[in-house]
């Protein structure tokens, strides 16, 4: 029942940009961690939200009139537009990435003997615990073969995408243009925002 709710939460987050939606998103991603201290992302919560996000994007694509007969580039463009317009989701991801980078940079400085490194705060400890949990989940996923299965499915999807795109040179070019545009308008600005916020902390 809970998993069934995630697509609706994800859909709301994709369309909303207010404090209420921000609080809901942070609460969903952090799960029960706030009961132990500062709210930090939990692996299981993120996995569940990503599943819901995928369903929400597929549904929104259908609502936008993207039929199964649409070109690969058109399907890809609609999906990326949904993510690009989800300002709240991007903001939360950027803030969390900056917070994590800030903690890790200070840990590295302390490790190499840097001077005047601030002592760990309760929030720092929570972030490091969250990273340790992610590492443990990743290791378990690799050991159980789940990671290999997921990568295999991803490779299969990508193979199908490329196979469909290469049916015509024009379609392949359109897919490349969509990917390049997304990198320029989504990935690069987000990376710069993370760097700027990390340096500003």
CA distance 39 to 31: 8
Tell me the pTM.
0.64
Confidence of residue 123 (pLDDT cuts 50, 70, 90): very high
CA distance 114 to 197: 21
C-alpha distances in angstroms, 102 versus 168, 195, 198? 46, 10, 5
What is the average pLDDT across 172-192? 68
Residue 77 near residue 178 (C-beta atoms within 8 A): yes
Residue 33 near residue 125 (C-beta atoms within 8 A): no
Residue that is written with structure tokens 């993207």 in the block = 66
**Start-to-end C-alpha separation, the chain:** 39
What pLDDT digit, counting tens, does each position of 66-88 carry?
A: 455 666 666 666 666 767 777 88
Determine whether 13 is exposed, middle or buried from the number of CB atoms within 10 Å of its CB (0-12, 13-18, 19+).
Answer: buried
């Amino acid at each position: 029942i809970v998993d069934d709710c995630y697509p609706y939460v994800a859909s709301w987050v994709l369309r909303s940009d207010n404090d209420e939606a921000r609080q809901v998103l942070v609460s969903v991603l952090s799960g029960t961690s706030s009961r132990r201290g500062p709210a930090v992302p939990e692996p299981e919560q993120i996995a569940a939200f990503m599943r819901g996000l995928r369903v929400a994007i597929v549904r929104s694509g259908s609502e936008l009139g993207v039929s199964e007969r649409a070109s690969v580039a058109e399907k890809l463009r609609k999906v990326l537009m949904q993510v690009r317009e989800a300002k709240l989701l991007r903001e939360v991801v950027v803030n969390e990435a900056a917070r994590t980078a800030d903690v890790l940079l200070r840990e590295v400085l302390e490790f190499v003997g840097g001077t005047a490194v601030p002592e760990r705060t309760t929030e720092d400890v929570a972030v490091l615990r969250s990273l340790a949990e992610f590492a443990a989940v990743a290791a378990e996923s690799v050991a159980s073969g789940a990671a290999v299965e997921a990568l295999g499915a991803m490779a299969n999807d990508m193979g199908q995408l490329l196979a469909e795109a290469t049916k015509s040179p024009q379609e392949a070019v359109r897919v490349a243009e969509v990917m390049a545009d997304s990198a320029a308008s989504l990935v690069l600005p987000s990376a710069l925002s993370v760097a700027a916020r990390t340096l500003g902390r």
